[in-house]
Amino acid sequence: MKFQFIRFTMTAFALSLMILTVILHSSSSHAETNAAKEKSAKPASEKMIDFEADELLKAMSATLESAKSFSFKAHVNFDDVLESGQKIQYGGDIEIKVKRPNKIVASFDGDLVEKNLWLDNDTLTILNKDNNFYGQLAVPSTIDETVDFILDNYDFTIPLADLVYSNPYESFSENIQTGVVVGDGKVEGNDCVHLAFEQEYIDWQIWINESDRHLPCKLVINYKSIEGGPQYNAEFSDWKLNDKIEDSEFKALIPEEDLKIEFIKMQRVKGDKK
Question: pLDDT of 211-256, one tens digit each?
Answer: 999 999 999 999 999 999 999 999 999 999 999 999 999 999 999 9
Question: Is residue 267 domain-resident?
Answer: no
* pLDDT in the model for residue 39: 40
Q: For residues 108 and 94, is the Cβ–Cβ distance under 8 A?
A: yes
Position with higher pLDDT, 23 vs 89: 89
Task: Round to the nearest angstrom and report the end-to-end CA distance of the chain.
Answer: 16
Instruction: Report the amino acid identity of residue 89.
Output: Q
Q: What are phi and psi of 156, to 5 degrees?
A: -145, 165
Note the pLDDT tens digit of each residue in 64-78.
999 999 999 999 999
Least confident of 17-21, 149-153, 174-178, 217-221: 17-21
Question: Is residue 105 domain-resident?
Answer: yes
Question: Is residue 219 domain-resident?
Answer: yes
Question: Is residue 88 domain-resident?
Answer: yes
Domain count, the chain: 1
Structure pTM? 0.84
**Residue 244 DSSP code:** -
Question: Is residue 198 domain-resident?
Answer: yes
Q: Is 155 left (phi over 0), alpha (psi -120 to 50) or beta?
A: left
pLDDT band at 128 (very low <50, low <70, confident <90, very high): very high
pLDDT band at 43 (very low <50, low <70, confident <90, very high): low
| Closest of 107, 47, 46, 100 to residue 73, by C-alpha | 107
Q: For residues 225 and 40, is the Cβ–Cβ distance under 8 A?
A: no
* pLDDT in the model for residue 267: 66
Question: Is residue 271 domain-resident?
Answer: no
Question: Is residue 50 domain-resident?
Answer: yes
Percent above pLDDT 90 for the chain: 76
Question: Is residue 183 domain-resident?
Answer: yes
- Percentages (nearest 5) of helix, strand, coil residues in the chain: 20, 40, 40
Q: Residue 62 sits in a domain of what CATH number?
A: 2.50.20.10
Q: How far is 74 from 2, CA to CA, in rounded Å?
A: 20
Note the pLDDT tens digit of each residue in 53-62.
999 999 999 9
pLDDT band at 272 (very low <50, low <70, confident <90, very high): low
Q: Give the structural domain span for 125.
A: 13-36+46-256
Q: How far is CA 245 from CA 27, 40, 98, 157, 165, in A?
A: 33, 37, 8, 23, 18
Q: For residues 216 and 236, is the Cβ–Cβ distance under 8 A?
A: yes
Q: For residues 72 and 216, is the Cβ–Cβ distance under 8 A?
A: no
Three-state DSSP state, 174: coil
Strand pairing report for 178-187 and 190-198 = antiparallel
